[in-house]
Amino acid sequence: MALADFEKIFADFTLSKQDRETLNSIMASSSGRERPSVFYSLTHLKHNYITFTHLFNLARFSQAGCNIVIALWDMNILSSPYFKKIEFEKYGNQTTDEYIKQKKDEILRLAASLGIENVKVYTSSEIWARFTQQREPHLFTKYYSVLSTIDLDDSELNDKLSYLLQLPADIFFANFFHVLYPEDFRKPIEIAYSAPRRKNLYFVTRKAMYNSGLISMESPVIVVSKEIPRIEIDTQIPHWDMSLGEISSIVSKWQFSHEEMQDLYRNVIGNVLKEVEFVSAAGTKKMRPEKFAELVPSLSREDLVASASKNIFSFFQGAKELTKIVEAPKPDFVNVRTKKEALQLGAVLKSNNAMRILVLANGTRTISQIAKEINMQLSNTSQYIARLRKLGLVAVRDKKVFRSARGIKINFESSLKP
């Protein structure tokens, strides 16, 4: 892994002098050894420009040789006003687990499309379950103890109260992921990728953990992205399923500063579009995003709104072109999360027929072809495949059956507790 690759990344992100020195040391010591890991947490409901931009940034870490570890805050998703107001009515007969799995797969597909390799996505509810059950060390007690030392004024928290729980948890997760998921990690996560509004609480939590003796050095290294303006009106953020008119309706109500509009072009739109459109009563003129950002203070609000609406819409069209890979990458292993899942798995895999189906499920055979090869009635074969699908071991696409993973992992400490 070349240190020069990270120096290029540092140019576009912010990190303290201390963190830069620590990260340089990590990169130098990791040469030829295990890849360092980058942690990022997100709440994903729709393909909005914020999620896409952060994944675009994470792709740069991946290309420099890092593993990417994403915590999908499913608890935020299911409690969000947008989900309750709009998405809840759309997801029909899906269970919440199925809906969250769909969101997880969307993140994996976007990540794969942007060239992010070695990515793992975990839901926050699964992480919390292991976190609260962990006894050696008793992490939840230590987490609560650290929270009691944080002064809200120091955190500069100017957001939802749930952030006061989520953001310190992110730093705990990064430091103890190898304890929570020993089947996946052998060491703490070295880097936490942060949006600017998270950084203060990240730093405060890390310092509190260090002062309490929980960690021997101030880790993980915190790398902060450039500002990404938040355009949110009545719980809605522009996303790629919106029409130009719907995006215009939101942008027209956005009370932006010139700096926020400049950040939109420099740090978001410019990642996808090489040219943007300046829309005014006099017509349309094309120019580079950086040039448009320079002109922002001299333009009228009307022209800025019209131009931003059109360019955000074009941004999403370009994003769709960049993300044409539609299949989520196949995980190496399926993690068995609960005792119930382990028992269900055992009940299916004790059958020789199920094992034979798994061997034949290489994507070249239909259900009827598999039934014929193992000399089993089609209805019985379909039932076995349905049970294997529910366990996440096989999938059916274009009528062909294929394995969804190479194997199975069970954590006996956290997965099999009664």
pLDDT at 89: 60
Q: Model confidence over 141-188: pLDDT tens digits?
A: 999 999 999 887 766 666 667 788 899 999 999 999 999 998 888 899
Q: Model confidence over 318-368: pLDDT tens digits?
A: 999 887 755 555 666 777 777 888 888 888 888 899 999 999 998 889 999
Please check whether residue 249 is in contact with residue 315, taking contact to mean a CB–CB distance below 8 angstroms: no
Task: Say what percent of the chain tops pLDDT 90.
Answer: 53
Residue 92 in this model has a pLDDT that exceeds 70: no
Distance CA 109, CA 286 (A): 32
Helix (H) or strand (E) holding 397, with range, is strand 394-397
Alpha helix segments (H runs only) across 48-133:
49-63, 74-79, 81-82, 88-90, 96-113, 124-133
The separation between CA 414 and the C-alpha centre of its own chain, rounded to angstroms, equals 23
Question: The whole model's pTM is what?
Answer: 0.80
Domains and CATH numbers, the chain: 3-224 (3.40.50.620), 244-322 (1.10.240), 333-410 (1.10.10.10)
The two tokens of residue 336 are: 């068995």
**Span 115-138, average pLDDT:** 90
Eight-class DSSP state of 45? S
pLDDT at 37: 93
Residue 189 in this model has a pLDDT that exceeds 90: yes
Rg, C-alpha atoms of the chain: 24
CA distances from 394 to 211, 271, 342, 345, 357 (A): 48, 36, 16, 13, 9
Please check whether residue 339 is in contact with residue 416, taking contact to mean a CB–CB distance below 8 angstroms: yes
Measure the N-to-C terminal CA separation of the chain; round to a whole number of Å.
Answer: 43
Residue 5 in this model has a pLDDT that exceeds 70: no
The two tokens of residue 112 are: 């794969």
Q: Are strands 333-336 and 221-224 parallel, antiparallel or unpaired?
A: unpaired
Least confident of 126-135, 151-160, 290-299: 151-160
